Amino acid sequence: MPDVLLGQAYYLRFDPKLWKARQPYPPLGTLYAASYLRERGHAIALFDAMLADSPAGWRQALDREQPRIAVIYEDSFNYLSKMCLLRMRDAAFAMIDHARQSGRPVIVSGSDATDHPELYLARGAAAVILGEGEVTLAELVERLLAGQRVAGVPGAATLGPDGTVHRGPARPFLRSLDDLPLPAWDLVDIDRYRAIWRGRHGYHSMNVATTRGCPFHCNWCAKPIYGQRYAVRSAASVAAEFAWLKRTYAPDHLWVVDDVFGLKPGWVADFARELDARGAHIPFRCLMRADQVSRAVAASLAASGCRMVWMGAESGSQRILDAMEKGLRVDDIREACRHLRQSGIATGLFLQFGYPGETWDDVQATLELVRDLDPADIGVSVSYPLPGTRFHERVRDELGQKQNWVDSDDLAVMYHATYAPEFYRELHHAVHFEFRARRLVRQVAALARAPWRARPADLRPIASWGLNRWRLARSHRRLAKLAADPAHRASIATLPPQLSPAAAATPTRQDDWPLGGTAPPPAGSRP
C-alpha cells in the first residue's frame, strides 16, 4: 500500500484539438514530485491522466492502490496546465470528490490552484501548494502521515475554521536544480506513449526540463509557480540525463520544455561539448527568445542536436511588442530566424492576436512577418488574461463571467479587443489556411524536383490543395466582412492609453494576396 497516489488533471481526451494531434507527453512535473518523495522514503503510485479516459480512472486507482494520501500535482512544465482550462479544473474537482469519498486527505498543486486556492479548498482539499511544490509537498505528506495539522506550512494554503483561506509563509525556491533526482519515469507506461507517437508520427518523443522560470517581463505571461526567477541545471547534468534516456528508453526525439532554453551565456556551447563527451546526442526541439539567438548560439544548437527552435514572436508590429513589454525588436526575430536557418535548424513561431490596441495594420505586420520568414510551423492564439499579470489588471474590469477557456481551442476574447471574438476566430482559421497553402506549394515543388521519392503519404496533402485554397478564399471573405462591419469594432475608448486613438484609424489600401494589405478589402470582394 503506497503512502501517496500522485495524479494530475490534464486529460488529453478533454482537449479535442490536442487529442486529435496525438502528441502526448507524460506529466514531467508530477514525475519530479514522485521522485522527490521517493528519495525521502515514501512509497509512491502514479495515476497518469494524460492517457486516461476520465476521472473514473482516478477513482479506480484509489480503490486499487489504497494510498494513505491523494495528491493532484499538475505538470507545471505543460503550458496547457498554466492556461488553467475550465475542463481540467472540473476534472480536478471530480478527483477531489473521489478522494474525499474514499476518506483520504487531498493535496493539490498547480497554476490554477495557486491562483484560486479558495476554490480547491472549498471543494475539500486539505491543503493547496502555492508555487514550486516539491519541498512543500514533502512536508505536507510527512505531517499528514504523522497525524499532524498542516495549517501554517510554508508555501501552502489551508482553510481556517471560519472558512477563510490561510496562507503559510512564503517558501524559498530550490537553489540547485542539479540536486533533484531524475523524474520517476518507471511509473509511466512508456510503451503506450511510444506506440501512440510512432503510430501517428513515425517517431517517439519524450520530454526534458533544463530550467525553471523566466526572468523577462512580458505583461501577459503568468508565472504562478516559479515567479520571476530563472534557475538552470548544469550542462553536465542535462547531458547526463540525455545519455540516461538514450540508454534506458532510446527515444527518437526530445522536447525540452523550458520557458527559455539556454539563457545563461555560454551554456549551449558547454552543453554541446558535454553531449559530445558522452555520445548522448538526441534530436530535440526547444523554446528560446529571439534576442538570445546569435550566430554562435545557433551553431552550438546545431552541434548539440537541436532540430527546431520555437520562438514567441507574438506580433510583427513593434507597437504591439512594446505594449506587451516584450523587450524584443521585430528585427531580433528576423535575425534569429536567419541564424537558425543558416545552421540548418527549423523555426516555429508563436503568434498572438487581439492584444488591446491592435489594429488591422498590426495584424498585417504579423502576417507579413510570417510570409517573409517562412517558418516550419506556427502556433496561433489570442491574448488570454491570466491572474497575476499586468495585462489582467489592465482588462480586469472588462471581464465577464467567463474568465477562462474551456479547452485550448476555445480562443474566446474575454475583454474588449479591437474586433469582436468572431473576427479573431476567423483570423485564426485564415492564418492557418494560408500557412498550409504555402507549405503545400513547397511540397509540390520538392516532389517536382524528385518525383521518384514520392510516397503515398506525400500525395494526400497535395490532393487537399484545392480544398484548402477554397477554404482560404472563403475565410478571407468572412474576415473582410467582420472587419468592415462597425458592429464588430470595439470603441476607441477601450484602447490602452499608450496607443493613440489615431492609430486605430482604418487605412484603405489593399493587396490582392489573401489577407494582404493594410486594410480589409470591401465586404463581398474576391480575394
Q: What is the pLDDT of residue 505?
A: 30
Q: What is the pLDDT of residue 440?
A: 81
Secondary structure (3-state) at 30: helix
Q: What is the pLDDT of residue 522?
A: 28
d(CA 198, CA 182) in angstroms, rounded, equals 25
For residue 380, give the amino acid letter: V
Confirm if 133 and 98 have CB atoms less than 8 A apart.
Answer: no
Q: What is the pLDDT of residue 445?
A: 75
Average pLDDT, the chain: 90
DSSP state for residue 8 in the 8-state scheme: -
Least confident among 128-132, 212-216, 275-279, 521-525: 521-525
Q: What is the pLDDT of residue 488?
A: 60
Q: What is the pLDDT of residue 458?
A: 66
State mean pLDDT over 396-402: 93
Confirm if 372 and 400 have CB atoms less than 8 A apart.
Answer: no
State mean pLDDT over 198-211: 97
Confirm if 209 and 258 have CB atoms less than 8 A apart.
Answer: yes
Could you tell me the pLDDT band of residue 87, with boundaries at 50, 70 and 90? very high
For residue 395, give the amino acid letter: V
Question: What element of type H or E holds 231?
Answer: strand 230-232
Q: What is the pLDDT of residue 129?
A: 98
The percent of residues in the chain predicted with pLDDT above 70, rounded, is: 90
Considering the entire predicted model, what is its pTM? 0.90
Q: What is the pLDDT of residue 326?
A: 97
- Give which of 212, 305, 207, 219 is closest to 259, Cα–Cα: 212
Could you tell me the pLDDT band of residue 490, with boundaries at 50, 70 and 90? low
Residue 452 C-alpha cell reads as 521518384
Residues 498-509 as b/e (b if ≥16 CB within 10 A, e otherwise) read ebeeeebeeeee
* Residue 495 confidence (pLDDT) above 80: no
Could you tell me the pLDDT band of residue 97, with boundaries at 50, 70 and 90? very high
Predicted confidence (pLDDT) per residue in 422-462, tens digit: 999 999 999 999 998 888 877 777 777 877 776 776 666 66
Question: What element of type H or E holds 442?
Answer: helix 421-449
* Residue 312 confidence (pLDDT) above 70: yes
Bridge partners (DSSP) listed for residue 5: 45, 70
Cβ–Cβ contacts within 10 Å for residue 45, how many?
A: 19
- Give which of 253, 271, 273 is closest to 261, Cα–Cα: 271
* Residue 515 confidence (pLDDT) above 70: no
For residue 443, give the amino acid letter: Q
Bridge partners (DSSP) listed for residue 367: none
Least confident among 224-238, 392-406, 427-441: 427-441
Question: What element of type H or E holds 119?
Answer: helix 117-123
Predicted confidence (pLDDT) per residue in 326-379, tens digit: 999 999 999 999 999 999 999 999 999 999 999 999 999 999 999 999 999 999
d(CA 438, CA 515) in angstroms, rounded, equals 13
Half-sphere exposure of 349 (CA within 13 A, CB side): 29
Predicted confidence (pLDDT) per residue in 154-181, tens digit: 999 999 999 999 999 999 999 999 999 9
First to last CA, the chain: 65
Q: What is the pLDDT of residue 470?
A: 84
The percent of residues in the chain predicted with pLDDT above 90, rounded, is: 80
Indicate the pairing of strand 205-208 with strand 253-256. Answer: parallel
Q: What is the pLDDT of residue 25?
A: 98
Question: What element of type H or E holds 462?
Answer: helix 456-463
Distances (CA, A) of 114 to 6, 120, 133: 18, 9, 10
Could you tell me the pLDDT band of residue 518, with boundaries at 50, 70 and 90? very low
d(CA 455, CA 446) in angstroms, rounded, equals 12
Q: What is the pLDDT of residue 489?
A: 61
Residue 101: exposure state from Cβ atoms within 10 A (0-12, 13-18, ≥19): exposed
Q: Which residue has the higher pLDDT, 484 or 408?
A: 408
Could you tell me the pLDDT band of residue 311, with boundaries at 50, 70 and 90? very high
* Residue 58 confidence (pLDDT) above 60: yes
Q: What is the pLDDT of residue 504?
A: 30
* Residue 507 confidence (pLDDT) above 50: no
Least confident among 81-85, 86-90, 252-256, 437-441: 437-441
